[in-house]
Amino acid sequence: MSNCNKLGIGLAGFGTVGSGVWNTLEKNGELISDRTAKGVSLGITKILVRDLAKTRATTSAVPPEILTTDWRALVNDPAVDIVVELIGGTTDAFEIVVAALLAKKPVVTGNKALLAERGIELFAISRKMETPIFFEAAIAGGIPIVKTVQDSFIGNHIHSFTGIINGTSNYILEQMTLRGIDYATALQEAQELGYAEADPALDVNGWDAAHKAILLATLAYGFPIDPAKVHVSGIEQVRPTDIQFAKSLGYVIKLLAIVRERDGGAVELRVQPSFISQKHILASVHGVFNAVSVNADAAGESLFYGRGAGQGPTSSSVVADLVEAARDLAHTARHRGFLPYRETGTLVPIEETTTAYYVRFDVTDRPGVVAEIATVLANHRIGISGTHSPIDASNPDAEFVDMVFLLHSCPFGKLTAALAEIEALDCINSQPVVFRIENLG
319 backbone dihedrals φ, ψ, rounded to 5°: -65, -40
Contacts of 375 (CB under 8 A, 6+ apart): none
What residues does 41 pair with on adjacent strands?
6
% of the chain surpassing 70 pLDDT: 94
Residue 395 has pLDDT above 60, yes or no: no
Q: So what's the pLDDT on residue 391?
A: 52
Catalytic residue among 46, 105, 112, 212: 212
Give CA–CA dist 154/149, Å, rounded.
7
CATH architecture of 153-307: 2-Layer Sandwich (3.30)
Give the single-character DSSP code of 428.
B
Domain locations in the chain as residue ranges: 6-141+311-331, 153-307, 350-437
Torsion of CA 351, 357, 360, 364, to 10 degrees: 80
Torsion of CA 408, 409, 412, 414, to 10 degrees: -60
Give CA–CA dist 395/330, Å, rounded.
71
Confidence at 11, pLDDT banded by 50, 70, 90: very high
Confidence at 176, pLDDT banded by 50, 70, 90: very high
Residue 333 has pLDDT above 60, yes or no: no
Instruction: Mention the CATH class of domain 6-141+311-331.
Output: alpha beta
Asked whether 74 and 12 are in contact (CB, 8 A), the reply is yes
Query: 3-state DSSP call for residue 432?
Result: coil
Q: So what's the pLDDT on residue 390?
A: 61
Express each pLDDT in 98-133 by its tens digit.
999 999 999 999 999 999 999 989 988 998 998 999
CA 167 to each of CA 198, 266, 322, 424: distance values in angstroms, whole numbers, following the listed order: 15, 29, 25, 37
Q: So what's the pLDDT on residue 30?
A: 87
Higher pLDDT residue, 405 or 336? 405
Cα three-residue angle 170-111-175, rounded to 5 degrees: 10
Give the single-character DSSP code of 424.
T
Q: Which of 168-177, 198-207, 345-354, 387-396 has the lowest mean pLDDT?
A: 387-396
Q: So what's the pLDDT on residue 3?
A: 47
212 is catalytic: yes
Residue 437 has pLDDT above 90, yes or no: yes
Query: 3-state DSSP call for residue 170?
Result: helix
Q: So what's the pLDDT on residue 2?
A: 47
Contacts of 342 (CB under 8 A, 6+ apart): 221, 222, 223
Instruction: Mention the CATH class of domain 350-437.
Output: alpha beta
Residue 161 has pLDDT above 90, yes or no: yes
Concatenated DSSP letters of 311-358: HHHHHHHHHHHHHHHHHHHHHS-S--S---S-S---BPPGGG-EEEEE
Confidence at 56, pLDDT banded by 50, 70, 90: confident
303 backbone dihedrals φ, ψ, rounded to 5°: -120, 130
Q: So what's the pLDDT on residue 200?
A: 92
Asked whether 276 and 358 are in contact (CB, 8 A), the reply is no
Can you list the pairs that 418-423 forms with residues at least 24 positions away whose Cβ atoms lie under 8 Å? 418/376, 418/377, 418/379, 418/380, 418/382, 419/359, 421/376, 421/379, 421/380, 422/361, 422/373, 422/376, 422/377
Give CA–CA dist 136/321, Å, rounded.
7
Q: So what's the pLDDT on residue 1?
A: 46
What strands lie across the sheet with 133-134, from one edge to the other?
A: 67-68, 41-48, 6-12, 82-85, 107-109, 133-134
Q: So what's the pLDDT on residue 436?
A: 98
Give CA–CA dist 274/259, Å, rounded.
14
Q: So what's the pLDDT on residue 394?
A: 52
First CA to last CA distance, the chain: 50
% of the chain surpassing 90 pLDDT: 74
Q: What is the mean pLDDT of the chain?
A: 91
Question: For 76-230, where are the E strands, in sequence order?
Answer: 82-85, 107-109, 133-134, 158-164
Per-state percent for the chain, helix, strand, coil, to nearest 5: 40, 25, 35
Express each pLDDT in 62-99 by its tens digit.
999 999 999 999 999 999 999 999 999 999 999 999 99
Give CA–CA dist 178/231, Å, rounded.
29
- DSSP alpha helix (H) spans, 222-345: 240-248, 311-331
Identify the H or E element spanning 401.
strand 400-411
0.85 exceeded by the pTM?
yes
Q: What mean pLDDT comes out for the span 294-318?
A: 91
Residue 186 has pLDDT above 50, yes or no: yes
What residues does 83 pair with on adjacent strands?
10, 107
Q: So what's the pLDDT on residue 120?
A: 87
Express each pLDDT in 202-243 by its tens digit.
999 999 999 999 999 999 998 889 999 999 999 999 999 999
Residue 12 has pLDDT above 50, yes or no: yes
- Closest by CA to 126, choosing from 155, 89, 165, 99, is 99
